[in-house]
A and B are shown apart, each in its own frame.
Chain A
Amino acid sequence: MTYKIVASQCTGCSACEPECPNQAISEKNGTFIIDPAKCTECIGYFDEPQCVAVCPVDDTCVLDAAYPRYSA
């Protein structure tokens, strides 16, 4: 799977953008989005997904069930 950002919850604070090890996060219309083709769920980089760890609003960076789990 990949992580996605719930746009209605995103404050647009940009905290996640520089933390992503895959540069998968970018701004779109004032909030942020994750490119599912680039997201690796931080596997191989960190113990926890960085966007989830830094996001100030709970349950805003969530796994996107539309995609299979990431495997390296």
Chain B
Amino acid sequence: MEHQVISLSSISTPKNGVNLEDIMQQKAEHQGCGTQGGSGKASCGSSAGQGDLAPEIWEKVKNHPCYSEEAHHHYARMHVAVAPACNIQCNYCNRKYDCANESRPGVVSEKLTPEQAAKKVLAVASTIPQMTVLGIAGPGDPLANPEKTFKTFELISKTAPDIKLCLSTNGLALPDHVDTIASYNVDHVTITINMVDPDVGAEIYPWIYFRNKRYKGREAARILTERQLQGLEMLTERGILCKVNSVMIPGINDGHLVEVNRAVKSRGAFLHNIMPLISAPEHGTVFGLNGQRGPSAQELKALQDSCEGEMNMMRHCRQCRADAVGLLGEDRSAEFTTEAVMAMDVQYDMETRKSYQALVEQEREATAAARKAEMETLAGGEYSDVKILIAVATKGSGRINEHFGHASEFQIYEASSSGAKFVGHRRVDLYCQGGFGDEEALETVVIRAINDCTAVFVAKIGGCPRGALEAAGIDPVDRFAYEYIEQSVIAYFREYLDLVRNGTVTHGQRGDAQIRQGAYTAA
């Protein structure tokens, strides 16, 4: 809850003789976020606005959709698949599997040369002016393909110097390349760290290829964890922002990730992204085939919540493809096939991009102002322990602007006396195809995905799904259509509290919800 942009000073009232504001302040200091004077400024990190981030850090993350939850509503990223080779084997990955309709890491439709990638970046940046970040994330490991990766960075930094460069690595080769990374002004690096204990690692990594030798089992995991942590330290020494990704694998590393969180925090990682394992038999991975399950939505949230006291948690990761294009919740990669890109006459115009981004900033400031104003309406109320989850259908820009049946995902907000907090998202297959809702998909996919939510906010909803949602105890809400999400969440919560207080509604915990595991096929 320290991730809110809003000032806590306006809402905290003494509870049981303890001042909430003091607690938040202590918590923020514990997180090393600094408070720079000014009471109540306990906000810190990735999920909201600048908060107490140092100006140079805010400058680095403010337009980076993967490092700032708030930015991800407004700014887009793209990955170029120039790095097919990998140097380790993970039990959740199968390099033979490749499908245009699959959305998850390690999957691409076509590989690119650095030259093709550079052209593609210009084409996308000209078509999607809010695209601010270029990442290399495989489909193998960028640092197992150092020549292709750095050649791509070199070409792009010449032709599109306003685009931020980042890469995502398993860390095995990282210590060998830190200086090169720094020399290309790559200021964001993500390392996937699933363990700091070789015994745990042996369950996740069958082998690594290191210094011309294949290592297996515990020894492989020991080398990997040493290299990952060394690489992380080297990056933070050079002032490069590091995000750590961890895959939550129930029964293997779920409890252990708390230890991982401490280890990476102490070595200067900026953000921790705990993601659910994606495993289905049709993916052909070891975990998919041996029946290893992924976590439920509430299991994932509980782990993220428990680590949040230690450092900033990322909850808006969509576990995207290594050739994804667009806002995090969308994928426009199909528009930019190599064939299409090579045929495009690209005019890269930085001024157009700048002026478009200025409009985005206005929208963003309006969103923040609306949230702040709505928070002030909570100020007079008493502190309450009540927390509810609300699912939101949105196309971006921080507004409730998607039809229920057209939503391919729902964003999940936790509403409490502290305000509205983004806590995750749930991907659903499009249930409404061509105007006809599929009853079975509504029940089996959508309702299961948001079953832990009290309400769902939509721009529009048909009569039939409305009835089904109500029957499942989820309140379908369209009266905030096209309004700002956070402002609406706070307004709804205030009304909800009133209903609880006057006895109209009995507040109770809702059940758990499912995280998508099977193949996602976007329309």
Residues of A whose CB lies within 8 Å of any CB of B are: 9, 11-15, 19, 46-48, 50, 52-54, 56-57
Contacts and interface: CB of A to CB of B under 8 A. Distances in A.
Contacts of B95: 11, 13, 56-57
A19 B95 CA distance: 19
Given A13-B140, A14-B84, A15-B140, A57 B96 contact: yes
A13 B84 contact: yes
Contacts of B317: none
B427 to A, nearest CB: 26
B516 to A, nearest CB: 25
Interface string B64-99: 000000000000000000001111010000011010
Nearest to A10: B96
Contacts of B212: 19, 46, 50, 53
The list of the 10 closest CB pairs from A to B, nearest first, reads A15-B85, A53-B214, A13-B84, A56-B95, A54-B209, A11-B95, A13-B85, A14-B85, A46-B212, A14-B84
Contacts of A9: 96
Given A13-B86, A56-B89, 9 more contacts: A11-B95, A11-B98, A14-B145, A15-B140, A19-B212, A53-B213, A54-B209, A56-B86, A57-B95
B111 A47 contact: no
B165 to A, nearest CB: 22
Interface string B124-166: 0000000000000000100011000000000000000000000
A50 B209 CA distance: 9
12 contacts: A11-B84, A11-B98, A12-B84, A13-B86, A13-B95, A14-B85, A15-B144, A15-B209, A46-B213, A53-B212, A53-B214, A54-B87
A15 B96 contact: no
A34 to B, nearest CB: 16
A50 B356 CA distance: 50
A54 to B, nearest CB: 5
Interface residues of B, number: 16
Nearest to B212: A46
Nearest to A55: B209
A20 B212 CA distance: 10
A13 B106 CA distance: 11
Contacts of B87: 15, 54
Contacts of B140: 13, 15
A34 B345 CA distance: 39
A47 B211 CA distance: 12
Contacts of A53: 209, 212-214
Given A53-B214, A56-B86, A11 B145 contact: no
Contacts of A52: 214
Nearest to B85: A15
Contact of B86 (A15, A46, A48): A15
A13 B140 CA distance: 8
B81 to A, nearest CB: 11
> In this complex, which of A11, A12, A50, A52 has the most chain B Cβ atoms within 10 angstroms of its Cβ?
A11
A45 to B, nearest CB: 8
> In this complex, which of A9, A13, A57 has the most chain B Cβ atoms within 10 angstroms of its Cβ?
A13
B144 A11 contact: no
Nearest to B84: A13
A59 to B, nearest CB: 12
Contacts of A15: 84-87, 140, 144, 209
Nearest to A9: B96
A46 B209 CA distance: 13
A52 B214 CA distance: 9
A54 B144 CA distance: 11
Contact of B96 (A11, A14, A47, A54): A11
A69 B140 CA distance: 33
Nearest to B95: A56
Given A13-B95, A56-B89, A57-B96, A48 B84 contact: no
A49 to B, nearest CB: 10
A19 B213 CA distance: 11
Contacts of A47: 213
B111 A12 contact: yes
